[in-house]
Structure 1
Amino acid sequence: MADLFFTPSGVRLRRHALRSGDLNWLLLPGGPGIGSESLEGLADILDVPGALWLVDLPGDGSNRAPPGSPKVPFDTWPHVVVEAAMALPRVVFAGHSTGGMYLLSTPELAPHLEALALLDTAPDALWHPRFVEMTQANPLPEVEAATAIYEADPRDENIAAVAVASAEWNFTPAGLSAGRELLARMPYNSAAVAWSEANFDHVYQARWWPTRMPVLRLAGSDDRIVWQGGWREPRFQTPNVIDRVIAGAGHFPWIENPQEVRAAFAELSLRIA
């Protein structure tokens, strides 16, 4: 298998690491608009059997005009994740933030997965108004200034400036320096941001919930971006779930507490038959 390949509709898969074992771990970024480069640090700290792949949907991050992608790549979102799952054997799909929401919006994934990992994500769009409330209660003048520039001129470099300015919301003080550096070097795609805002973010509802395959659900204890309260519903309290709160961590919990994130994924790998 090549280290880089595209699915028929242009999903890009890049192999980040290869260890002994036959599992394929697919890491899907959040955002939307931010590239899978945001998950390189996660991939670096994981100690799981098999191959680790960074996944970019067509039109997301730096995957701008991949082979096979339709003229409007977002026409394939989010169900194109099924192509990624079908491209490799024994897949574990891990979605961060909005990436996890895309996975939970696609019940067709179920027969193609060995397990599912959900990082700082939510089961419905109720997280969004709470995020807005948080930003109003904790204003960042740099975000307000960068947002005004972006709204007047929605270019990629302007959405990047908004992301970097928001670092204090995404990371704890302990992780702020590393987090700001991470956000500053990411590729961003404003078209993906606009599509998700118009078509997904405010109407999202999970369309499936696995009750047999192993599921890892983790979030930073201090994540201020995606509210975790939606998971309290009884239908999500199934015995196949490993539920982990990562101590002292924000929205990218492997930045502040890589040890606990690594241990949670190792526990998931042991649950996979």
Structure 2
Amino acid sequence: MTETKFTRSGVRLRRHSERPGGLNWLLLPGGPGIGSESLEELAAALEVPGAIWLVDLPGDGSNRSPPGAPADVFDVWPTVVVEAAQAVPDPVFVGHSTGGMYLLATPELAPHLKGLALLDTAPDASWHPRYVEMALASPLPEVEAAMAVYEADRCDANITAITVASAPWNFTPAGLQAGRELLARMPYNSAAVDWSDAHFDHVYAARWWPADIPILRLAGAQDRIVWQGGWDAPRYCTPNVIERAIPGAGHFPWIENPDAVRAAFADFSRRLVG
């Protein structure tokens, strides 16, 4: 990372890389509780004009005690994403999974963005019961064992075991080993998990849909985590949307098929600067 900056409320932006061009790509992780380190392979795969930044909300991932953060960091979730958009010129927000949901829950972003990319995310909370159904229909004994350990000792280290055990839900067989390695090295934050579960995950619904900026909506064709059917509503089928299903990929599609993800972002970039 070549540069780190914090917003007034403690959002952290770390510049991953930079190419010629004036855009600033803000990569916001899913989870919640997982750090933007989960997007490092995505950042490395992209060949887009401008700078790529990894973004962590205050209290998320490894951004534990950032300067300027309120005493209760979750008081500013998720609207604090606006501060990240204001921190750089010509921002393009890229939200993965729950990160994309935080963006769509924050209409205050509207006047600030040059573009919006939504990766393996959903327009409302209807994805969640389908995820639960999938997990019940395809049980992983390792997840159940790790969950029991976590319930007895709700420490961050025990979240790692749950997440790594859930890798077969998140990745295709071809990407499983790389996926386990990715999930094993992530920082996790149980407080962020608990906040989102109590205040966001089950009641979320998109509060805005931009029609005047380019949108990339992308997901792994074999994503088992976040159901993509909610996007069929006419509200979201606007002419400014580029839609891509990434073949042979799960919930982190840049792991199994980085070439297709790179190509989708190339198309998106051309629309942004064209």
Residue of structure 2 equivalent to 1:22: 22
Aligned counterpart, 1:184: 184
1:145-184 alignment, distance < 5 Å: 145-184=145-184
Return the offset for 1:154.
1.0
Letter of the 2:242 partner, please give it: I
| Equivalent-residue separation in structure 2 for 1:126 and 1:224 (angstroms) | 14
Shift of residue 148 of structure 1?
Answer: 1.1
Aligned to 2:260: 260
Separation of aligned partners in 1, 2:35 and 2:195:
15
Deviations 1:207-250 (A, max 9, x none): 00011100000000000000000000011000000000000000
Looking at structure 1, the residues matched to 159 and 195 of structure 2 have their Cα atoms a distance apart, in angstroms, of 14
Following superposition, the deviation at residue 164 of structure 1 comes to 0.5
Q: State how far apart, in whole Å, the 2-side matches of 1:111 and 1:269 are.
A: 19
Deviations 1:166-219 (A, max 9, x none): 000000000000000000000000000000000000000000001110000000
| Alignment-derived partner of residue 114 in structure 2 | 114
Amino acid of the residue matched to residue 136 of structure 1?
A: L
| Residue correspondence of structure 1 range 1-273 to structure 2 within 5 A | 3-273=3-273
Where in structure 2 are there 5+ consecutive unaligned residues?
none
Give the SS at the match of 2:110. helix
Cα deviation digits, residues 64-93 of structure 1 (max 9, x gap) = 000000111011000000000000000000
Structure 1, unpaired ranges of 5+ = none
For 2:54, the aligned partner's letter is L
Structure 1 range deviating more: 150-159 or 40-49: 150-159
> Identity over aligned residues, as a percent?
75
SS of residue matched to 1:92: strand
Match of 1:269, SS state, is helix
Deviation at 1:22, TM superposition (A): 0.6
Q: What code does the residue aligned with 2:13 have?
A: L
Which amino acid is the alignment partner of residue 131 of structure 1?
Y
Question: What secondary structure, in the 3-state scheme, does the structure 1 residue paired with 2:262 have?
Answer: helix
Specify the code of the residue in structure 2 equivalent to 1:232: D
CA shift digits 1:49-76 (9 cap, x unpaired): 0000000000000000000001110110
TM-score, normalised relative to structure 2: 0.99
Could you list the runs of 4 or more consecutive aligned residues of structure 1 that deviate by over 6 angstroms after TM superposition? none
Distance in 1, Cα, partners of 2:208 & 2:53? 24
Measured on the aligned residues, the alpha-carbon RMSD in Å equals: 0.6
TM-score by length of 1: 0.99
| One-letter code aligned to 1:118 | L
